[in-house]
Amino acid sequence: MKITRDVAIQLTNVSKKYEIHHEKPTLVEQFVKGRNEIFWALRDINLIIKKGERVGIIGPNGSGKTTLLKIIAGITTPTHGVVQSNGKVVSLIDIEAGFHQDLTGYQNIYLNGMLLGMSRSEINNKILDIIEFAGLHQFIDAPLFTYSSGMTLRLGFTVAIHASPKILIIDETFAVGDREFQSRAKKKIDSLLQQYVTVCFASHNLEFIQRMCKHVILISHGRIAGQGNATIIERYKKQPIA
């Protein structure tokens, strides 16, 4: 069923299964087939996120928060179920994945930007802003393998948030760089929110989620344990789900 125009993201009966392979440790047993364990990271997720919403996803470690974001972002596919979205989805998960270590920072802006759906002309128009925002002027013509991990993250983050997303997916790791860069990043995200961009955050910082999000989703053992307004956060604080 096609999603309505006011909906940004809709998940219907979405589940995600992983197989964990347990290898046999000894030489004698190496020809014996190892035991495979089935792990369901998500089970039967039904979710509707409206356009322009700020959605916070909370829950303990291993509950399925990042898997849910990766499925929404299209980084991974569900084992079962249907994922639908309206508009360009840009993810701040695995933001180094679209880079090539032997290319310069300048060249990687074009490579990563195109992977995020930007046209060459769009990148041409934004290239100076991207370099300025990332604060990498003196390194922009150096190959990426000379960058520190922090510099690479800053560049990936900067390209992503300049890709004109309609849906922005942010994991806990979005706080990259020093305080000055983080301040610029937060201001940029705030400006995107004012442009009616739908944003999904996953974080253990409950105060941040409470301040930024009106719609909160609590995930536990791969299932939605509750959703609603900030009262979900208070419930989780009083009775943390293991």
Task: Note whether residue 100 is domain-resident.
Answer: no
Task: Note whether residue 30 is domain-resident.
Answer: no
18 and 60 in a single domain? The answer is yes
Task: Note whether residue 116 is domain-resident.
Answer: yes
Question: Taking the complete model, does pTM exceed 0.85, yes or no?
Answer: no
Mean pLDDT of 203-227: 90
- Higher local confidence (pLDDT), 76 or 24: 76
Residue range 95-116, pLDDT digits in tens: 777 799 999 999 999 999 998 8
125 and 231 in a single domain? The answer is no
Q: What is the pLDDT of residue 176?
A: 63
212 and 154 in a single domain? The answer is no
Supply the range of the domain harboring residue 147: 105-164
59 and 154 in a single domain? The answer is no
Which of 19-28, 199-208, 219-228 is most confident? Answer: 219-228
70 and 172 in a single domain? The answer is yes
Residue range 145-198, pLDDT digits in tens: 999 988 998 899 899 889 989 999 988 655 566 778 878 887 887 788 788 889
118 and 83 in a single domain? The answer is no
Tokens linked to 28: 């004698």
56 and 113 in a single domain? The answer is no
Q: Work out how many domains the chain is built from and give that number.
A: 2
- pLDDT tops 70 at residue 142: yes
Task: Note whether residue 219 is domain-resident.
Answer: yes
- Which string of DSSP letters, residue by residue, matches 134-193? HT-GGGTTSBGGGS-HHHHHHHHHHHHHTS--SEEEE-GGG--S-HHHHHHHHHHHHHHH
59 and 122 in a single domain? The answer is no
The residue type of 38 is I
DSSP state of 4: P
79 and 172 in a single domain? The answer is yes
Q: How deeply is 61 buried, as exposed, middle or buried, from its count of CB atoms within 10 A (0-12, 13-18, 19+)?
A: exposed
51 and 156 in a single domain? The answer is no
Q: What is the pLDDT of residue 177?
A: 64
Tokens linked to 82: 């249907």
Any idea what the CATH number is for the domain that residue 17 is in?
3.40.50.300
124 and 153 in a single domain? The answer is yes
Query: Around Cβ 187, how many Cβ atoms within 10 Å?
Result: 10
Tokens linked to 124: 């041409």
Q: What is the pLDDT of residue 86?
A: 92
118 and 230 in a single domain? The answer is no
